[in-house]
Structure 1
Amino acid sequence: MYNHPDFVCVWLGLSKLGCEVAFLNTNIKAKSLLRCIESCGAKTLVVGRGLDHLVEPVLPDLQKDNISLCVMHHSPISEGFISLLDKVENMSTGNKSSPPNVNIMSNFLFIFTSGTTGFPKAARVGHLKAIMSMAFFQMCGATSDDIVYITLPLYHMSASLLGIGGCIQLGATCVLRKKFSATQFWKDCVKYNVTVVQYIGELCRYLVNHAVVPEENSHSVWLAAGSGLRSDVWKEFAERFHTLKVREGYGLTEASIGFLNYTDEIGPIGRASYFNKLTVPFELLRYDTQTYEPFRTVSGRCVRAHIGEVGILVAPVTAMNQFLGYAGNKVQSEKKLIKDVFVTGDLYFNTGDLLLQDHRGFLYFRDRIGDTFRYPSTIFVSEHIFHIK
């Protein structure tokens, strides 16, 4: 589904029933679509308006596997599809059943990570991680009075859990655009009185490379919150668009390890304070520059990177930092874990990211060495705006 209120309604409605929901990238092709559905064990596919043509090439395969096909229309668009909107309108407003018995440590969502090789992997996202993610905007200083502009795709964690979830947690208003448009960005911010924008680094780069528009000097945005912002783009973005605060963070779909640069220092993704390491413990390990595997001594133990030295970010697997693995991919799940790091029997999650910590405790992202890749965004022009309170 594209960014649309229907996405939020389907997601939260199914979650209320106790279902586990898998978010599918609208750009995936036929083989990847089948692999995604198979890997997470889905029994039903919900298709948004105007996206039924993406399913038609694999329709026989889905029907052979007894996958139910639901479409967000008032009537079936073709044979094999079940319409949903007509049934929603005829539903009673009363509660149909008691709330599901949900364990906070259990799985909540499947979010597919993009890889440089092979098919997307279905990362399990637990209820605990989802709740923790919803605090992102609040940690950045946003309040219920803010109006948040979200242009990132909802099928990724940033827009869904941090974005929509963050608005729900705050009680803030969300302005949801179907797709990002550099041309319309500041015009929308002025038109809808936006005060907070969510970004990824490439989005900011597109904006600073875009021609000047009058609205970029008359908006009310005081906060830009997100991740992946390069230092040079960061400085130009803040100076050109008069955004008072940029809050750069770091997080992963698969695990709960994360950082937030709550200062005005340009460049870091966070700060490794004493209290931060108590609540979200992590380590930076020395690594082999040829294999990118953690370096081990003759005794078989890993070695911590020095201050000012780039190291692999790892985090102990605990109840608060879960790694539920990838659905239907045991091999890839096990590859993300490192055993016997400092003592026999300990277990760490390998982020596949290289970070550096300076003498002040600031952390800097340096490179990604795993099999996941941060794809650049694509510019689209769209007039679909949804104002959600």
Structure 2
Amino acid sequence: MAGPGSELPSGPVAPMLLSWLTGLGAGMVLLSFMQKLLYPYFWDDFWYLLKVVCCGFRMEMYRLKGELVTVLDKFLMHAKKQPQKPFIIYEGDIYTYQDVDKRSSRVAHVFLNHSTLKRGDTVALLMSNEPDFIHVWFGLAKLGCVVAFLNSNIRSVSLLHCIRSCEPRALVVGADLLGTIEEILPSLPGDISVWAMKESVPQGIISLKEKLSTASDSQVPHSHHVASNLKAPYLYIFTSGTTGLPKAAVICQLQAMKGSAGLWAFGCTSNDIIYLTLPLYHSAGSLLGIGGCIELGATCVLKKKFSASQFWNDCKKYNVTVFQYIGELCRYLCKQPKREGEKDHRVRLAVGNGIRSDVWREFLHRFGNIKMCELYGATEGNICFMNHTGKIGSVGRANFLHKLFFTFDLIKYDFQKDEPIRNEHGWCSHVKKGEPGLLISPVNAKNPFFGYAGNRKHTEKKLLCDVFKKGDVYFNTGDLMVQDQENFLYFWDRIGDTFRWKGENIATTEVADIIGMLDFIQDTNVYGVAVPDYEGKAGMASITLKPNTSLDLEKVYEQVVTFLPAYACPQFLRIQEKMETTGTFKLQKFRLVEEGFSPLKISDPLYFMDKLKKSYIPLTKEIYDQIILGKIKL
């Protein structure tokens, strides 16, 4: 029997309660329906921003405890807690967290015992993707050194410029890139010691590999690398900008920590196996990839370079669950011949940037239900976006909550004058939704911009002042974005003297300077042109000749392949009698970009880069048609 006070409601109370519960249920259904109708992405936004808040809260707690935890500190924690867990898998070899810790300690002890390096010194690192890249990076970090990642594709003048601009005390080079350094060895500043990961080295270079064989792997005292300030420089990562030669972006400890949280924010866990083919000298590979694995305590399958034919075999072989991409990588995979079992893998997430909507759709159709986590962010920038909803084509979503943490504006831009539009009072204006605008972000204590090493003018050129009011300062991303009616953001184009090709930013003035070194060239105007079915824009150079000289196409070919990375070599040449300039005497690019490389539209002589003939050859209608149809690969 029921005891006192346990009787069920009876009389008029029961219908009232039933009516109240029914009303509550109907209200909840209506509320849910209205939320999905008026704010369909509420919960996606909420959970994503909750992660952002948690990340910030965690870092603030470290600060309040007096603990300035860095990426290196997190790695050392994992090496202690899970020493035998695989950290790096490379060409079938497994390097555990403990292995990487000990090998990097050997590197640190070599420099402690055989060099005068001290805390705060800069060391340049020129290596391909390999475990020793990470061993040297972490070993130098254990000494409190700032490591400058050099692009392994650049040579000659550009490489020498990069080394000089970051003023290193030492340079470490991989065995496969030793020849690149030998080319410029006589021109290197005399106070730089050069170390090679090779036993037999030429005179003037020290064998790091030989000294590692006898070095101690004992722990390096924490006092060598303890962080006193999270805004202290940690890395220099080179980025091509509008001023020509690459610039060394300052990456502080705080930026590295934020970058390492990216994989976690997209839902990766310590159980994931992350496939990394992107170059480690880029922030995507080093900060998001390696740093992201460290944040999670996960395993990274590292490849020397991307191979479309080996990609899915590797994913199956190593049980890969997450991979990092750039748009070109996904396009190459979609261009591969179809095979049986393409959806037979464990990959669940792909994290990266620059994938076109059509490639995105085709990729999902062919390779299965993989969540594409598109993001946007410049190496040196103070603004980033993450597409946490999976909306195809978008780099992220903005709303009033998002703007509390990531403030930005899209302003009107004059494409002819190549500068922001200002009204009669000198202020910039916001674009309407659906219109492309220049992405800018305020520079303040919450969103600092750390700039570049060396010449301060490079840092100042990335800033816009007095934008909406006197005294305000904004970081100029150099990117045009579009925000739609649902507040999704889409990358539209690069501005100025930079375009993107093969996943790399190409500075047009750097390419023009190399071509301009030829004695028969008067002026060179370099720009990017759209090519169907390709990500980014292919390089094109419009040139004028000096009086009484003739064009030597083989010499132009030899010049660009000798002094430029393969991705920066112009695919097309256009010979003009006279260069057009703007009112401020800048070379006019707008019309040239619009006209592209079609011999049907352009009466000027056009040429195409032919790698087999080692020369530029006339761009005929037949060659043009084959490029458009994809029969000739760029």
**Could you say whether these structures have the same fold, taking a TM-score greater than 0.5 normalized by the shorter chain as the test?**
yes
Contact 1:284 1:314 in 2 (8 A): yes
Which of 233, 239, 256 is equivalent to 1:130? 256
Which of 302, 312, 322 is equivalent to 2:448? 322
Secondary structure, counterpart of 2:264 in structure 1: helix
Relative distance call for 1:124 and 1:256 in structure 2 (3 A) is same
Which of 65, 72, 78 is equivalent to 2:202? 78
Distance 1:138 1:101 in 2: 25
Relative distance call for 1:116 and 1:298 in structure 2 (3 A) is closer
Equivalent in the alignment of 1:229: 355
- Does 1:2 pair with 2:128? yes
- Does 1:89 pair with 2:213? yes
Which of 152, 156, 162 is equivalent to 2:282? 156
Written as runs of structure 1 = structure 2, the 5 A alignment for 1:297-312 is 297-312=423-438
Q: Unpaired runs of 5+ in structure 1?
A: 380-389
Equivalent in the alignment of 1:385: none
Distance 1:347 1:117 in 2: 20
Secondary structure, counterpart of 2:138 in structure 1: helix
Written as runs of structure 1 = structure 2, the 5 A alignment for 1:167-316 is 167-214=293-340, 216-316=342-442
Distance 1:166 1:234 in 2: 23
How many residues of Structure 1 are paired with residues of Structure 2 in the alignment?
377
* Structure with greater helix percent: 2
Secondary structure, counterpart of 2:210 in structure 1: helix
Contact 2:398 2:488 in 1 (8 A): yes
CA drift of 1:79 comes to: 1.1
Secondary structure, counterpart of 2:476 in structure 1: strand
Relative distance call for 1:118 and 1:148 in structure 2 (3 A) is same
Q: Deviations over 1:76-102 (max 9, x none)?
A: 412111112332332333344423353
What is the identity, as a one-letter code, of the residue corresponding to 1:152? L
Which of 172, 188, 191 is equivalent to 1:66? 191
Distance 2:413 2:334 in 1: 36
- Does 1:331 pair with 2:457? yes
Distance 1:254 1:347 in 2: 16
Distance 2:498 2:448 in 1: 19
What is the identity, as a one-letter code, of the residue corresponding to 1:112? F
Q: Unpaired runs of 5+ in structure 2?
A: 1-126, 504-565, 568-634
Q: Deviations over 1:297-342 (max 9, x none)?
A: 2222111111112110000112342222222232222111011111
Relative distance call for 1:316 and 1:53 in structure 2 (3 A) is same
Identity %: 54
Distance 2:418 2:349 in 1: 37
Instruction: Return the TM-score normalized by structure 2.
Output: 0.58
Relative distance call for 1:139 and 1:46 in structure 2 (3 A) is same
Distance 2:250 2:293 in 1: 22
CA drift of 1:123 comes to: 1.2
What is the identity, as a one-letter code, of the residue corresponding to 1:231? S
Contact 1:353 1:370 in 2 (8 A): no
Distance 2:477 2:451 in 1: 13
Bigger mean CA offset, 153-162 vs 87-96: 87-96
CA drift of 1:215 comes to: 5.3
CA drift of 1:376 comes to: 0.6
Relative distance call for 1:19 and 1:373 in structure 2 (3 A) is farther
Distance 1:122 1:89 in 2: 32
Bigger mean CA offset, 111-120 vs 258-267: 111-120
CA drift of 1:145 comes to: 0.5
Instruction: Return the TM-score normalized by structure 1.
Output: 0.93
CA drift of 1:188 comes to: 0.4
CA drift of 1:122 comes to: 1.3
Bigger mean CA offset, 92-101 vs 29-38: 92-101
Secondary structure, counterpart of 2:401 in structure 1: helix
CA drift of 1:355 comes to: 0.4
Relative distance call for 1:88 and 1:104 in structure 2 (3 A) is same
Equivalent in the alignment of 1:364: 490
Distance 1:35 1:84 in 2: 24
What is the identity, as a one-letter code, of the residue corresponding to 1:34? L
State which structure, 1 or 2, has the greater radius of gyration over its C-alpha atoms: 2
Contact 2:141 2:225 in 1 (8 A): no
Contact 1:256 1:320 in 2 (8 A): no
Secondary structure, counterpart of 2:499 in structure 1: coil
Relative distance call for 1:297 and 1:115 in structure 2 (3 A) is closer
What is the identity, as a one-letter code, of the residue corresponding to 1:71? A
Q: CA RMSD in A?
A: 1.7
Equivalent in the alignment of 2:574: none
Distance 1:15 1:374 in 2: 31
Distance 1:252 1:363 in 2: 15
Relative distance call for 1:21 and 1:373 in structure 2 (3 A) is farther
